[in-house]
């Protein structure tokens, strides 16, 4: 069967309109290329819009001592040294410029008294480093980039979902196949280079801060296209998600609450974080409540309170408290800012948190503590890329943002993602432009790959008897939460690996009701293959990493093992399909240059 | 908790009607939860837009009991007893069920002449909190387009869509006009092309804004006053005649590339 | 080159979703317009009647008072009752002196952004309430004559300031009671409160907020204007309240003076 589809032709095609995708578009556009952006929701709605706390950049506006070296060190330590050190270096060096240039395009950050960009404290960052706008920094970032992209007259394909990447006959990336959600019609794109900026994959867990978009499409499509995924077992569970009412369980409570003075207490009223300070952080963490409290006003007067340890540490501590029976009625712990700051302060600094609790939970955070617990938030793992150019192993394919791996190692520090987006979004745009200028880009689209993807997407309509995709999604989320959640053991992980095979069969038996136009059931059916691919790599990585490190905690191997700090687990697939066999290898870490090593030593 | 009847408009450009669903409702749930439950059970093809489910992305706007609301921020227990009516936004063409074609708004966004700041000094721009605060209020906008939906200028008079950009974009113009670094002047543009004069300041946009932006008081009226400065104020007009125009006119600005 | 209509990709006439009804609202959206219509109509009827009365607007030296109704101040016609006349007089004016001056406060309120909102909604039904259909088939807003004249609001605001000054002068003068010296009566307090409310109404005006500071791009470069603007902004947020309070109180002030002047009761002296 041959059908003709709507077709578009670009130099650079960007899949994803979050911070990474938009920043990449600006760069490619500035190089004079023809750029198209595809997003499966509307422009401006990508996950980036939800980011709250801020973007990390060592500008030194608040703490003059801050510089890229300290930021680099913090990032590596937060990532438990699993990071791609070149990425961490570029990120630390370039993020101040990337933040400042946003103001040229219209961003309005909160200011210091001297009229510079204000920076706030966040977990794992030694100095106040997060440029922010109240607690809606992601909105500011995405709107600024969006407005810039629009003013540059860039084509944006909204509510258009990419199903699969397509090669040319030489195995280079040549384009992709997608469908319009409003009509259900298919559309093909040819491109000399494609940049993946599809964001995260947290929707496969039951309690998550991610939206329906977080299905890991980019991760999966890259794997199917021949690229490698690394560190997939490292999933960040953010320590503070809402736990009640059930309908908002998982919704994020920004770390800014703790940065601005909020503390964690168990049901006995105890500030339990003091009992969970790991040796690596003892030197710089307060030993008593008095010392911690002094720090908020004057960072020289005391050391940081333990509530501001990296996220993996805090999430694990909360988990242990709840397990030990010291949790709140709804299975969380208390996050208390009401007893520590004035109502005016809280409303001014955390306006959307105030609203979120007031409107959704009926809790006034200026007078009551919040009930919070860990929620699936961010995937450190992603497509393996070259730090400087964001190139993947497949010619013509680039990746940036949350779907790229390596930058954050085993655990991401808060605020490092937004700056990651603009630093590596820009680099991906440059990388793609350089690649095109080198003249090696693909010119033809392998239509048989297109047809295959289309057939697969339409199959659920042909089945009259079959399963409801919503049931599969719900079961998958519950299964992953239970077996590959915050704390993992061999038995559960193996169980997950077996169950994922059953899920594969179930997905092959989905039946979809209704037509193709704006059919969310069908849309979910096309998401599930990517979700399963991602879950499989997560489970495989989790099973192989027999240690605990950052966003991967094994009850049966509670300690970090230096042997495992030498490589990432890298996944590939040979078949190129979502149900093909996945192969996992150990991929050695990038050797660290001596100057960087010295940085880690001297400031330890 | 007791079941609730949801009266949901279902259909597309070829027509449609209300359909009733009787669904279970749990403590603390919002309208979007109930819609999701209908999707997961009775009607998997019920179309609705959503992303964040936290009032941050502005995707899930619809009309609940006749008023534009975010489905994810409307608590079921705060609606009056009885069936809950959910319809798509009225002002925009229908795609399917609760999803409308909001491209009108993206077209308006393309017409906004970008910020034109001076070159950035080493170490970044210096702006003070009082300089950015007015703009920050407008930048809270989550682009739910409910103000555009409720604005009678286009809700009840389709033809005005050709020459009216609507409250969402008036706050954008106000933000740029109040930006301490901006060197552009969009006042004539706003009057001539964007239809500021069509707004009769009846404030429905302000009433529905989920971000509680004082659209009318803080953006539209100040813009109208700026237009008066530029256009209707005889004293200012005379002054300009004498001093000659120094600023770029908005018409030029419209095609000026951003730096 | 400006963006022209033809260069936009806005397509008209797309089919809309939902039922084709004026509104699906079931709450009492009509309440607000009904209240607005009632109060404004009552005011208009009363003030017209009062303005044409051409008597009982001044309480003078014969009862040791100096109270003038705000509807008649400044009293500019040569036929003003003795004692009420402002320094300068139109000779040969035979109608009520109120008619000479009321155009200014009337114009001020008519072009006021808040009243515009209210009467466009309540009287013109454009729209009667949010998400309730506009009652008119076509609509050009404030882009054509006569409504384009609303843009002159700031001039009425300036005129309003002159009136406020005069009425404040009236209020202060009222404390000096002819033949008795300084003292406080209920009437003096009524005049004073009236003047105060009128000041609050004017100061909270949107044109005022713009002219005093709102018009600048950078507040940090204009610290004085920023101070003004900061001061006026919270008042401006209450403009609606001041609009109603001052409107009703102006009428009440006239009622009070009228009742005293016509001898229904006398103005009580407090001290
Ligand atoms: C609630 C919350 C708060 C956060 N707070 C912070 C914070 O304070 N600081 C910080 O640094 N980080 C924060 N993060 C993390 C950060 O926001 C994200 O990691 C980051 O925004 C990801 O950006 P991105 O550009 O990679 O992708 P996203 O913004 O997720 O965008 C993905 C894009 O890809 C598109 N897409 C995906 N799949 C397809 C497909 N198949 N076809 C077409 N398009 C597709 C989507 O439509 C979307 O446009 C937070 C995250 C959440 C959820
Ligand atoms: S105030 Fe103006 S812009 Fe806002 S809804 Fe009314 S007419 Fe539309
Ligand atoms: S101004 Fe308010 S109502 Fe209008 S689009 Fe923005 S957030 Fe929505
Ligand atoms: S889903 Fe994002 S605002 Fe409702
Ligand atoms: S008097 Fe009401 S806005 Fe000026």
The residues, ordered by sequence, that sit 6+ positions from A187 with a Cβ below 8 Å of its Cβ are: A5, A6, A7, A8, A157, A160, A177, A178, A179, A180
Structural domain harbouring C88: 31-134+153-261
CB of B153 within 6 A of ligand 2: the answer is: yes
Which of C3, C12, C17 should we substitute to test contact with B (largest number of B Cβ atoms within 10 Å)? C17
Least confident of A110-124, A294-308, B14-28, C231-245: A294-308
Residue B258: pLDDT above 70? no
Residue B252: pLDDT above 70? no
In this prediction, residues A19-35 reach a mean pLDDT of 98
What is the pLDDT at residue C11? 86
Please state the pTM of the whole predicted model.
0.94
Structural domain includes residue C59:
yes
In this prediction, residues A219-225 reach a mean pLDDT of 98
* Confidence band, pLDDT 50/70/90 cuts, at residue B170: very high
* Confidence band, pLDDT 50/70/90 cuts, at residue A26: very high
Q: Please, what are the domains in chain B?
A: 3-100 (3.10.20.30), 103-255 (1.10.1060.10)
How would DSSP label each residue in chain C? ----GGG------PPB-S--SS----S-TTHHHHHHHHHHHHHHHHHHHHHHH-SS-EE-GGGT--EE-GGG-SEEETTSPTTTEEEEEETT--S-THHHHTHHHHHHHHH-HHHHHHHHHHTT-SSSSTTS--S-S---TTSSTTGGGGGGHHHHHHHHHHHHHHHHHHHHHHTEETTTEE--BHHHHHHHHHHHHHHHHHHT-HHHHIIIIIT-S-STT-HHHHHHHHHHHHHHHTHHHHHHHHHHHHHHHHHHHHHHHTTSS-PPB--
What is the pLDDT at residue B1? 64
What is the pLDDT at residue B241? 73
Domain count for chain C: 1
Residue A539: pLDDT above 70? yes
Least confident of A55-64, A246-255, B31-40, C189-198: A246-255
Compute the distance from residue B199 Cα to the ligand 2 centre, in Å: 5
Q: Are A131 and A55 in contact (CB under 8 A)?
A: yes
What is the pLDDT at residue C2? 35
In this prediction, residues A593-598 reach a mean pLDDT of 95
Per-chain mean pLDDT for chain B: 92
Structural domain includes residue C23:
no
In tens, the pLDDT along A225-257 reads: 999 999 999 999 999 999 988 888 899 998 889
Of the candidates B242, B199, B252, the residue with the CA atom closest to the CA atom of residue B224: B199
What percent of chain A clears pLDDT 90, i.e. is strictly above it? 88
- Which residues in chain B have Cβ-Cβ distances shorter than 8 Å to C120? 200-202
Ligand 3 site: residues with CB under 6 angstroms? B 58, 141-147, 167-168, 171, 208-211, 213, 215
The residue ranking higher by pLDDT, B168 or C92, is B168
- Write the DSSP symbol of residue B75: B
Q: Which of A140, A148, A156 sits opposite B258 (nearest CB)?
A: A148
In tens, the pLDDT along A340-383 reads: 999 999 998 898 899 889 988 889 999 999 999 999 999 999 99
The residues, ordered by sequence, that sit 6+ positions from B63 with a Cβ below 8 Å of its Cβ are: B69, B85, B86, B87, B88, B89, B90, B149, C18, C24, C131
What is the pLDDT at residue A3? 62
Structure tokens that stand for A397 in this block: 């394919």
Query: Which residues belong to CATH 3.90.700.10 in chain A?
Result: 239-376
What part of B 29-58 touches C (C-beta under 8 Å)?
none
What percent of chain C clears pLDDT 90, i.e. is strictly above it? 87
Structure tokens that stand for B204 in this block: 């429905």
What is the pLDDT at residue B251? 41
Query: Which residues belong to CATH 1.20.58.100 in chain A?
Result: 448-567
In tens, the pLDDT along A120-175 reads: 999 899 999 999 999 899 999 999 999 999 999 999 999 999 999 999 999 999 99
Q: How far apart are CA C195 and CA C189, in angstroms?
A: 10
Q: Which CATH number applies to A239-376: 2.30.300.10, 1.10.390.10, 3.40.50.150, 3.90.700.10?
A: 3.90.700.10
Q: Nearest C-alpha of chain B: how many angstroms from C41?
A: 19
Of the candidates B88, B78, B62, the residue with the CA atom closest to the CA atom of residue B30: B78
Residue B213: pLDDT above 90? yes
In tens, the pLDDT along C61-73 reads: 999 999 999 999 9
Least confident of A232-236, B240-244, B246-250: B246-250
Q: Which CATH number applies to A448-567: 1.20.58.100, 1.10.1740.10, 3.90.1150.10, 3.40.50.620?
A: 1.20.58.100
In this prediction, residues C130-140 reach a mean pLDDT of 94
Q: Which of C14, C25, C143 sits opposite B198 (nearest CB)?
A: C143
What is the pLDDT at residue B243? 67
What is the pLDDT at residue C135? 87
Q: Which residues of A are annotated as catalytic?
A: 238, 258
SS3 assignment, position A235: strand
In this prediction, residues A306-331 reach a mean pLDDT of 91
What is the pLDDT at residue C103? 93
What is the pLDDT at residue B244? 55
Q: How far apart are CA C87 and CA B74, in angstroms?
A: 62
Structural domain includes residue C10:
no
Residue A295: pLDDT above 70? yes
The answer to whether A244 contacts chain B (CB < 8 Å) is: yes
What is the pLDDT at residue C4? 39
């Amino acid at each position: 069967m041959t059908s003709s589809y709507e077709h578009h032709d670009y130099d650079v095609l960007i899949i994803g309109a979050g911070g990474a995708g938009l920043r990449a578009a600006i760069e490619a556009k500035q190089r004079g290329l023809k750029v198209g952006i595809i997003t499966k929701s509307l422009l401006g709605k990508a996950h980036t819009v939800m980011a709250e706390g801020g973007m990390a950049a060592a500008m030194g506006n608040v703490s003059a001592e801050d510089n890229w070296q300290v930021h680099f060190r913090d990032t590596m330590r937060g990532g438990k040294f699993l990071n791609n050190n070149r990425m961490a270096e570029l990120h630390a060096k370039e993020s101040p410029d990337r933040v400042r240039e946003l103001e040229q395009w219209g961003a309005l950050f909160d200011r210091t008294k001297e009229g510079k960009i204000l920076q706030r404290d966040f977990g794992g960052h030694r100095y106040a480093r997060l440029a922010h706008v109240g607690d809606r920094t992601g909105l500011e970032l995405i709107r600024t980039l969006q407005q810039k992209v629009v003013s540059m007259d860039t084509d944006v394909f909204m509510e258009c979902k990419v199903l699969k990447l397509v090669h040319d006959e030489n195995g280079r990336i040549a384009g992709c196949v997608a469908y319009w959600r409003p009509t259900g019609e298919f559309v093909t794109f040819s491109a000399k280079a494609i940049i993946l900026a599809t964001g995260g994959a947290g929707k496969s867990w039951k309690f998550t801060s991610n939206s329906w978009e977080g299905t890991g499409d980019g991760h999966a499509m890259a794997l199917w296209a021949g690229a490698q995924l690394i560190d997939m077992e490292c999933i960040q569970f953010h320590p503070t998600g809402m736990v009640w009412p059930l309908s908002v369980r998982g919704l994020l409570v920004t770390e800014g609450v703790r940065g601005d003075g909020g503390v964690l207490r168990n049901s006995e009223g105890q500030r339990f974080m003091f009992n969970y300070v790991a040796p690596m952080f003892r030197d710089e963490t307060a030993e008593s409540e008095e010392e911690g409290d002094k720090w908020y006003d004057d960072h020289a007067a005391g050391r940081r309170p333990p509530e501001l340890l990296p996220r993996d540490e805090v999430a694990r501590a909360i988990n242990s408290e709840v397990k030990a029976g010291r949790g709140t009625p709804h299975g969380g712990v208390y996050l208390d800012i009401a007893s520590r700051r004035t109502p005016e302060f809280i409303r001014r600094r955390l306006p959307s948190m105030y609203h979120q609790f007031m409107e959704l939970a009926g809790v006034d955070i200026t007078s009551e503590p919040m009930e919070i617990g860990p929620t699936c938030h961010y995937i450190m793992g992603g497509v393996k890329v070259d730090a400087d150019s964001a190139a993947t192993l497949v010619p013509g394919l680039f990746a940036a943002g949350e779907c790229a791996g390596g930058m954050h190692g085993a655990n991401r520090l808060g605020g490092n993602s937004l700056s990651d987006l603009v630093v590596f979004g820009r680099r991906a745009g440059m990388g793609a432009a350089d690649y095109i200028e080198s003249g090696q880009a693909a010119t033809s689209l392998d239509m048989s790959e297109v047809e295959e993807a289309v057939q697969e997407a339409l199959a659920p309509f042909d089945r009259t008897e079959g399963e409801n995709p919503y049931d599969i999604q719900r079961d998958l989320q519950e299964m992953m939460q239970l077996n590959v959640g915050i704390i993992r053991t061999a038995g559960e992980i193996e169980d997950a690996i077996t169950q994922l095979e059953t899920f594969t069969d179930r997905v092959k038996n989905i039946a979809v009701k209704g037509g193709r136009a704006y059919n969310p059931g069908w849309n979910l059916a096309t998401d599930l293959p990517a979700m399963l691919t991602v879950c499989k790599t997560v489970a495989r990585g989790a099973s192989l990493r027999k240690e605990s490190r950052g966003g991967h905690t094994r009850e049966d191997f509670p300690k970090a093992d230096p042997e495992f700090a030498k490589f990432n687990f890298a996944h590939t697939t040979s078949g190129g399909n979502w149900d093909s066999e996945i192969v996992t290898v150990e991929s050695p870490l990038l050797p660290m240059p001596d100057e960087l090593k010295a940085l880690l030593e001297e400031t330890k | 908790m007791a079941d609730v009847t949801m009266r949901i408009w279902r259909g597309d450009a070829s027509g449609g009607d209300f359909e009733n669903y009787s669904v279970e409702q749990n403590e603390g749930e919002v309208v979007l939860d109930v819609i999701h439950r209908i999707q997961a059970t009775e009607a998997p093809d019920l179309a609705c837009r959503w992303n964040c489910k936290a009032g941050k992305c502005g995707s899930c706007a619809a009309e609940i009991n006749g008023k534009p609301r975010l489905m994810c921020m409307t608590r079921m227990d705060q609606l009056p007893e009885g069936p809950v009516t959910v319809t798509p936004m009225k002002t925009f063409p229908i795609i399917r069920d609760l999803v409308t074609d909001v491209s009108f708004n993206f077209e308006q966004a393309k017409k906004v002449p970008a910020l034109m700041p001076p070159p950035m000094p080493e170490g970044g721009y210096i702006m003070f909190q009082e300089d950015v605060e007015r703009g920050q209020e407008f930048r809270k906008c989550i682009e739910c387009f409910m103000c555009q939906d409720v604005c009678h200028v286009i809700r009840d008079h389709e033809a005005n869509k050709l020459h009216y950009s609507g409250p969402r974009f008036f706050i954008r113009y106000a933000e740029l006009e109040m930006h301490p670094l901006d060197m552009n002047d969009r006042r004539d543009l706003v009057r001539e092309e964007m239809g500021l004069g069509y707004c009769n300041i009846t404030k429905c946009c302000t009433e529905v804004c989920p971000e509680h932006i004082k659209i009318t008081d803080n953006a539209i009226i100040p813009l109208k006053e700026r237009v008066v400065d530029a256009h209707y104020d005889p004293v200012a007009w005379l002054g300009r005649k004498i001093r000659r125009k120094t600023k770029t006119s908005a018409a030029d600005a419209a095609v000026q590339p951003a730096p | 080159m400006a963006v022209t209509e033809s260069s936009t990709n806005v397509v008209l006439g797309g089919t809309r979703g939902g039922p084709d009804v004026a509104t699906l609202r079931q709450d009492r959206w009509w309440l607000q317009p009904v209240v607005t219509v009632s109060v404004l109509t009552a005011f208009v009827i009363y003030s017209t009647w009062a303005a044409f009365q051409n008597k009982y607007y001044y309480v003078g030296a014969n009862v040791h008072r100096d109270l003038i109704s705000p509807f008649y101040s400044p009293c500019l016609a040569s036929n003003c009752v003795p004692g009420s006349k402002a320094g300068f007089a139109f000779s040969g004016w035979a109608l009520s002196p109120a008619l000479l001056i009321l155009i200014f406060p009337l114009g001020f309120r008519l072009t006021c952004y808040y009243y515009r909102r209210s009467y466009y909604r309540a009287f013109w039904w454009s729209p009667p309430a949010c998400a309730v259909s506009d009652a008119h088939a076509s609509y050009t807003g404030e882009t054509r004559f006569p409504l384009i004249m609303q843009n002159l609001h700031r001039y009425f605001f300036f005129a309003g300031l002159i009136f406020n000054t005069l009425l404040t002068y009236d209020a202060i003068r009222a404390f000096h009671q002819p033949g008795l010296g300084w003292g406080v009566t209920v009437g003096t307090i009524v005049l004073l409160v009236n003047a105060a409310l009128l000041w609050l109404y004017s100061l909270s005006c949107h044109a005022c907020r713009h002219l005093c500071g709102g018009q600048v791009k950078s507040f940090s470069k204009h610290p004085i204007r920023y101070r003004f603007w900061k001061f006026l902004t919270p008042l401006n947020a209450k403009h609606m309240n001041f609009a109603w309070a001052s409107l009703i109180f102006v009428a009440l002030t006239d009622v009070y003076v009228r009742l005293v002047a016509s001898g229904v009761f006398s103005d009580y002296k407090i001290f």
